Amino acid sequence: MRNGCQPQLVRFPSVRRCRRSAAVHGRARRPRIYLAFSLARGQAYGSTRDRNGGPVGAHITRHVGRCGVHEPTCPRHPLSGEVGVMIAVLIVASIRIYRDGLALMLAREGSFTIAAAVSDRAHAIAYLTDSHPDLVLLDLTTPESDLIIRDVERLSPRAPIVAVGVGDAEQDMLSCVEAGVAGLVSRDASFSPRFEGRLLRRVAALAAARDAAASPERLTVRECEIVRLLEQNLSNKEIAVRLGIEVATVKNHVHNLLEKLHVQRRTDVARRSTRSARAMAGGTPPDPGDPPTF
Amino acid sequence: MKVALKHIRVVVGKIPRILRAIIEGAITLQSDMELIASGGADLSATARRSHADVVIVAEEMYEGDPAHRQVLVDNPQLKLFVVTDDGRAAHMLEFRRLPVADVSPQGLVEAIRDAVGTGARPQAE
Please tell me the least confidently modeled range out of A119-123, A163-167, B50-54. A163-167
CB pairs under 8 A between A and B: 52
Phi and psi angles of residue A21, each rounded to the nearest 5 degrees, phi first = -65, -35
Residue among B17, B22, B24 whose CB faces A97 most closely:
B22
User: Has residue A121 got a pLDDT over 90?
Assistant: yes
> Searching chain A, which residue's CA lies closest to the CA of residue B88?
A95
User: Are the Cβ atoms of A56 and B18 closer than 8 angstroms?
Assistant: yes
Percentage of chain A lying above the pLDDT 70 cut: 51
Cβ–Cβ contact A28 with B under 8 A: no
ipTM: 0.78
Compare all CA atoms of chain B with the CA of A99 and give the residue at the minimum distance.
B22
**First CA to last CA across chain A, in angstroms?**
39
What's the rounded Cα separation, in Å, for the pair B83 and A163?
A: 22
pLDDT class for B108, splitting at 50, 70, 90?
A: confident
Q: Give the mean model confidence (pLDDT) for residues A76-93.
A: 64
Contact call for A101 and B86, based on CB within 8 A: no
Instruction: Give the 3-state secondary structure of residue B5.
Output: coil
Where does the pLDDT of residue A55 fall: very low under 50, low under 70, confident under 90, or very high at 90 and above? Answer: very low
Minimal Cα–Cα distance from B89 to chain A, Å?
9
Which stretches of chain B are DSSP H helices? 17-28, 43-50, 66-74, 105-116
Q: Return mean pLDDT, chain A.
A: 65
pLDDT at position A149 over 70: yes
pLDDT for A101 beyond 70: yes
Query: Would you state the pLDDT for residue A293?
Result: 38
Chain A contact present for B25, CB below 8 A: yes
Inspect the interface and report whether the beta carbons of B88 and A54 lie closer than 8 Å: no
Whether chain A has a CB inside 8 Å of the CB on B23: the answer is yes
Question: Sorting pLDDT into bands at 50, 70 and 90, what band is A213?
Answer: low
Please answer yes or no on whether A101 and B19 come within 8 Å at the CB atom. Answer: yes
Q: Which long-range contacts (CB under 8 A, 24 or more apart) does A40-47 make?
A: A40/A190, A40/A191, A40/A193, A40/A196, A41/A190, A41/A191, A41/A192, A41/A193, A42/A190, A43/A190, A44/B17, A44/B21, A45/A11, A46/A109, A47/A11, A47/A12, A47/A13, A47/A81, A47/A109, A47/A110, A47/A111
Least confident residue range of A29-43, A236-250, B81-95:
A29-43
Please tell me which of the candidates B16, B22, B25 has its beta carbon nearest to residue A188: B16
A108 shares contact with chain B (CB less than 8 Å): yes
Give one word for A262, left, alpha or beta, with left for phi > 0 and alpha for psi -120 to 50: left
Window B:53-82, CB contacts with A under 8 Å: none
Per-residue pLDDT at A273: 62
Least confident of A165-174, A181-190, A209-218: A209-218
Query: What average pLDDT does the segment A65-69 reach?
Result: 26
Give the three-state DSSP class for B63.
Answer: coil
The predicted pLDDT at position B2 comes to: 57
**pLDDT number for residue B3:** 58
CA distance A188 to chain B (A): 5
Tell whether the model's pLDDT for residue B29 goes beyond 70.
Answer: yes
The reply to whether residue A98 touches residue B21, judged by beta carbons under 8 angstroms, is no
Q: Which residues of A touch B17 (CB under 8 A)?
A: 39, 44, 55, 187-188
List the one residue out of B13, B18, B62 whose CA is nearest residue A140.
B18
**B-chain residues near A104 (CB < 8 A):** 22, 25-26, 29
Pick from A70-84, A192-206, A212-226, B81-95 the range whose average pLDDT is largest.
B81-95
Per mean pLDDT, which range of A16-30, A158-172, B43-57 is the poorest?
A: A16-30
Give me the phi and psi of A207, to 5 degrees please. Answer: -60, -45
- Is B86 in Cβ contact with A95 (below 8 Å)? yes
DSSP B67: H
Q: Does A185 touch chain B (CB under 8 A)?
A: yes
**For A52, which residue in chain B has the nearest alpha carbon?**
B21
- DSSP H/E element including B36: strand B33-38
